[in-house]
Amino acid sequence: MTVPLATICAHIRATLPDCTPASVAAHFALSRFHLSRRFHRETGLPLRDYIAALKIEHGIAALVAQKPVIDSQLDAGHESAATYSHTFRAATGIAPARYRDKIAAYSATLSAELACPQPRTFSYHGYAPQQHPQPRALTVRLRGGEARHVVFAGLFPAPIPRGVPVLGRALFHCREFRIDAVPDGTYYLLACEIPKSRNPLHYFRLDYCLRALHPAPVTFPLPAATTIDLALRPFAPSDPPITVNLPKLLYDFLRPVSYTHLTL
């Protein structure tokens, strides 16, 4: 009898931070090779990368609670402080100590923007848009959720979002955006909705948020002008962890400092 994928993912989450691909396979009396192949086939995610990202996500709560970085490191199952700092920064876009120290500023910025009723879209580009025009545009329309919540959407080079997106959008009171400038390549389109909350953890641990994942990667240049409808739906255990510090991207955009790679 085939073990349901949801059961496997639930076990992984329940045994963090100690689980490994080998321990998960042993628990279900499966070949590690067979389990890894099946997981990748059904989710599009490498099992090892999925577990590694979950461990980073697991360590975020301690930082939001203003605990020492060592607590976060141990919660994430890392023995080496240097390795953890490097891995955490690669996953979130910021070192763990600075992540903890900036929680209040990032939370205040996002809360203030969520309180404003004006429709607007903020855009992050990790490149100069004028240097990468696309002959055919992609229009993305979000369905579901609530207009008073913010939706963060982005193009990522891998199915598990790490660091910062190649292109990102923060949408307040609007649910549609257009991509007509991006470097040629293949990307994964993901989105998540964040409501206003008094609990800062809800801005940084996104395993409860509505999300939308386009089932296939998108390759630019497009063969024709394309519209994609993304339906926001409840979190599923097999979804890739979103460890990117999304409030930080918004905070960096809104700071009274000039950034050539951040545009509205």
pLDDT at 260: 35
Compute the half-sphere exposure of residue 147: CA atoms within 13 Å on the CB side of its CA.
9
Picking from 192, 190, 189, 191, the residue whose alpha carbon sits closest to that of residue 222 is 189
What is the distance, to the nearest Å, from the Cα of residue 111 to the centroid of all Cα atoms in its chain? 19
Q: Where residue 264 falls among pLDDT bands split at 50, 70, 90?
A: very low
- How far is the CA of 44 from the CAs of 159, 160, 228, in angstroms? 7, 9, 19
Token digits of residue 73: 């490191």
Outline where 44-189 has alpha helix (H).
47-64, 69-75, 81-92, 96-101, 103-115
Question: How far, in Å, CA of 63 to CA of 203, rounded?
Answer: 13
In sequence order, which residues have a C-beta less than 8 Å from that of residue 81 and are 6 or more positions away?
A: 69, 70, 73
Q: Where residue 253 falls among pLDDT bands split at 50, 70, 90?
A: confident
Token digits of residue 65: 């609670």
- 174 has pLDDT over 90: yes
What is the distance, to the nearest Å, from the Cα of residue 228 to the centroid of all Cα atoms in its chain? 19
- How far is the CA of 179 from the CAs of 39, 92, 122, 129, 189, in angstroms? 31, 24, 13, 10, 12
- 256 has pLDDT over 70: no
In sequence order, which residues have a C-beta less than 8 Å from that of residue 8 and are 6 or more positions away?
A: 24, 28, 35, 39
- 194 has pLDDT over 90: yes
pLDDT above 70 as % of the chain: 96
Token digits of residue 26: 């042993």
Question: How far, in Å, CA of 218 to CA of 164, rounded?
Answer: 18
Tell me the mean pLDDT in the region 79-91.
Answer: 94
Question: How far, in Å, CA of 3 to CA of 42, rounded?
Answer: 13
Picking from 183, 198, 190, the residue whose alpha carbon sits closest to that of residue 134 is 183
Token digits of residue 195: 């409501």
Token digits of residue 55: 């461990």
- For residue 173, count other CB atoms closer than 10 A to its CB: 16
